């Protein structure tokens, strides 16, 4: 089945990890893709691998990049049906050691980059009854002392998701958010190394079933933006192996 045949999807942070898995999964569902990230070489590699994909290397921290990506998508495929806001990483560390620059950088990419791109793409998503997915994170619901920036950014994205979902009812644009937990990416492996911790120790300490794979998140995204997932709207979905214990 190719439920996304004829659809055009923008995937940010597509060069590696979760974003790369999402792009590959949407391609298998039939979507044509606009891939964007900062790493030109990685985007070229992914585009060759999956086919029927265009790419534009941009840094979403710069205000003009959002409109450039939207213009590129329209010039390439003539439409935008799906927007996956996945780009963004934040600095971990103790609160008193984090600088203003660390905080500004965390919000610049993951929050403001996603907000600007969604704002630029919204009229085109409205025209196509499209779909937006924000990849946030469980730290937005359960903050931690070494994740003050990430937790704050993720919480802001969750609030934005709910607000835009309300607008989406009027404009017929589906809006949802996904909160990944521990996913086996380079960033997660670096975290284990810094903590001198094995994966098994992390699983036991966190009280989870296992560490997730990027493909786990990609499968959820593919379902959300497919016709089968259309009734999900304004949802904030944890995909974390049971790590989030709160209601």
* pLDDT for res 71: 98
What's the CA gap between 76 and 119, in Å, rounded?
A: 20
CA distances (Å), origin 69, targets 19, 159, 221 = 16, 24, 21
Q: Residue 52 pLDDT more than 80?
A: no
With a threshold of 0.95, does the pTM exceed it?
A: yes
Give the pLDDT score at 89. Answer: 87
Tell me what pLDDT residue 195 has. 86
Query: Read out DSSP for 91-147?
Result: --B-GGG--HHHHHHHIIIIIIIHHHHHHHHHHHHHHTT-EEEEE--GGGTS--TTB
DSSP 170-183: HHT-EEEEEEE-SB
Residues 94-142 pLDDT 10s: 999 999 999 999 999 999 999 999 999 999 999 999 999 999 999 999 9
Residue 193, SS3? helix
The tens digit of pLDDT for each residue in 14-51 reads 999 999 999 999 999 999 999 999 999 999 999 999 98
Residue 68 has pLDDT above 90, yes or no: yes
- Residue indicated by tokens 């898995």: 21
| Maximum Cα interatomic distance, the chain, rounded to a whole number of Å | 51
Please check the confidence at residue 198 and state whether its pLDDT lies above 90.
yes
| Domains of the chain, each with CATH number or no CATH | 8-235 (3.40.50.720)
Quick one: pLDDT at residue 141? 95
């Amino acid at each position: 089945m190719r439920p996304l045949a004829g659809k055009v999807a923008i995937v940010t942070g597509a060069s590696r990890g979760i974003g790369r898995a999402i792009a590959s999964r949407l391609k298998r569902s039939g979507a044509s893709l606009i891939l964007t990230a900062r790493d030109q070489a990685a985007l070229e590699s992914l585009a060759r691998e999956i086919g029927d994909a265009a790419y534009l290397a941009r840094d979403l921290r710069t205000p003009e990049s959002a409109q450039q990506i939207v213009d590129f998508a329209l010039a390439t495929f003539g439409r935008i049906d799906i927007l996956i806001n996945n780009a963004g990483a934040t600095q971990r560390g103790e609160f008193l050691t984090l600088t203003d620059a660390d905080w500004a950088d965390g919000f610049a990419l993951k929050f403001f980059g996603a907000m600007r791109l969604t704002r630029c793409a919204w009229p085109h998503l409205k025209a196509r009854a499209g779909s937006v997915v924000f990849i946030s994170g469980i730290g937005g619901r359960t903050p931690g002392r070494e994740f003050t920036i990430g937790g704050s950014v993720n919480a802001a994205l969750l609030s934005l998701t709910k607000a835009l979902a309300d607008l989406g009812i009027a404009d017929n644009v589906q809006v949802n958010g996904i909160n990944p937990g521990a996913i086996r990416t380079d960033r997660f492996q670096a975290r284990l190394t810094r903590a001198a911790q094995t994966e098994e120790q992390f699983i036991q300490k966190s009280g989870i079933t296992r560490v997730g794979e990027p493909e786990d998140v990609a499968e959820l995204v593919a379902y959300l933006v497919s016709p089968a997932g259309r009734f999900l709207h304004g949802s904030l979905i944890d995909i974390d192996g049971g790590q989030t214990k709160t209601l």
